[in-house]
């Protein structure tokens, strides 16, 4: 949750000027400071945080994002605020960061969030296969998937959309909290109204990394309608992009356990 705070818009380079008349450079000259947030766990803070420098300059920052400032070199105090009650910041907060004259430095605030309920019971869902009738080649209608997600928010998910071509490879989306801690599973619901029998469904909210490097939130919805060939449902929706890929499983299987 982010409180109302004074902020300043970034320039066309995405760099926020950080200049206050009352500040004094302690090392002489100016430098650049990049602040990074890395949030993992479940029920991530939906509206991000606020980063404050020396108690006088505040800037909103997302849950998994970065902001670059330019300002006086020397030692400066950084504080991350607006953290939800189910989340905690690892390491010193506030902390002191030294900005080199004419140089750059960075600091990362690592935040972990605990579940706040709504998990829908224990469980696991596993799937491997594709939707679409084409072979998984660039430009076809195939979307392949491979996942093993558990209700304790562990596991891995990856999918590739061959209809969405990015250069020499298909668009892809991956959540793997072990290999990429910026990605995470944030909710697990042990049923879904998208299924003719809701008890055969699972819905998972997650943060994944696209092949472009961007982090995006998405919802995975699946229906295990029986053994392979039973017309299981696979659906992924990215609300920030208004994008959905959905259809019956044409090869492979989804198994709810």
Torsions phi, psi of 46, nearest 5?
A: -70, -25
| Mean pLDDT estimate for the chain | 84
Looking at residue 211, its pLDDT comes to 94
Looking at residue 230, its pLDDT comes to 87
CA-CA distance, 170 to 161, in Å (whole number)? Answer: 6
pLDDT at 20 > cutoff 50: no
38 prior amide bond cis, ω within 30: no
Q: Which of 65, 64, 66 has the alpha carbon at shortest distance from 41?
A: 64
Looking at residue 51, its pLDDT comes to 93
Looking at residue 112, its pLDDT comes to 83
Looking at residue 28, its pLDDT comes to 61
CA-CA distance, 45 to 49, in Å (whole number)? Answer: 8
Looking at residue 233, its pLDDT comes to 95
Torsions phi, psi of 235, nearest 5?
A: -145, 130
Per-residue pLDDT tens over the stretch 89-139: 888 999 999 999 999 999 999 988 765 544 444 689 999 999 998 899 999
Torsions phi, psi of 191, nearest 5?
A: -160, 165
Two tokens at 33? 């400071």
Residue with tokens 């300002």: 71
pLDDT at 202 > cutoff 50: yes
Please compute the mean of the pLDDT values over residues 170-187 and round it to a whole number.
Answer: 94
Please compute the mean of the pLDDT values over residues 2-21 and round it to a whole number.
Answer: 38
Phi-psi region of 101 (alpha: psi -120 to 50; beta: other; left: phi over 0): beta
Per-residue pLDDT tens over the stretch 153-174: 999 999 999 999 889 999 999 9
Who wins on pLDDT, 12 or 216?
216
Partners of 105 in the beta sheet?
33
Q: Which of 64, 67, 95, 69 has the alpha carbon at shortest distance from 80?
A: 95
Per-residue pLDDT tens over the stretch 22-75: 333 344 688 999 999 998 877 777 778 999 999 888 889 999 999 998 889 999
pLDDT at 7 > cutoff 60: no
Per-residue pLDDT tens over the stretch 70-94: 889 999 999 999 888 778 888 899 9
């Amino acid at each position: 949750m982010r409180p109302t705070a004074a902020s300043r818009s970034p320039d066309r380079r995405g760099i926020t000027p950080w200049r206050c008349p009352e500040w004094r450079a302690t090392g002489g000259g100016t430098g650049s400071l990049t602040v990074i947030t890395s949030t993992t766990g479940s029920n991530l803070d939906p509206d991000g945080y606020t980063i404050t420098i020396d108690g006088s300059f505040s800037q909103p920052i997302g849950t998994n994002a970065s902001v670059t400032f330019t300002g006086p070199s020397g030692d400066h105090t950084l504080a991350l605020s607006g953290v939800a009650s189910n989340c905690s910041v690892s390491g010193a907060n506030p902390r002191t960061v030294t900005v080199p004259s004419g140089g750059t430095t960075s600091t990362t605030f690592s935040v972990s969030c605990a579940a706040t309920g709504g998990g829908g019971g224990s469980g696991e869902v596993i799937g491997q296969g594709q939707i679409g009738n084409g072979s998984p080649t660039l430009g076809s209608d195939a979307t392949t998937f491979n996942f093993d997600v558990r209700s304790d928010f562990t596991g891995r998910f990856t999918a590739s959309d061959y209809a969405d071509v990015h250069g020499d490879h298909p668009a892809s989306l991956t959540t793997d909290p072990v290999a990429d801690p910026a990605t995470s599973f944030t909710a697990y619901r042990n049923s879904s109204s998208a299924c003719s029998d809701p008890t055969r469904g699972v819905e998972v909210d997650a943060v994944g990394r696209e092949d472009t490097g961007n982090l995006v939130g998405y919802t995975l919805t699946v229906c295990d309608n029986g053994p392979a060939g039973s017309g299981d449902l696979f659906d992924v929706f990215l609300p920030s992009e208004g994008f959905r890929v959905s259809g019956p499983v044409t090869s492979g299987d989804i198994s709810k356990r």
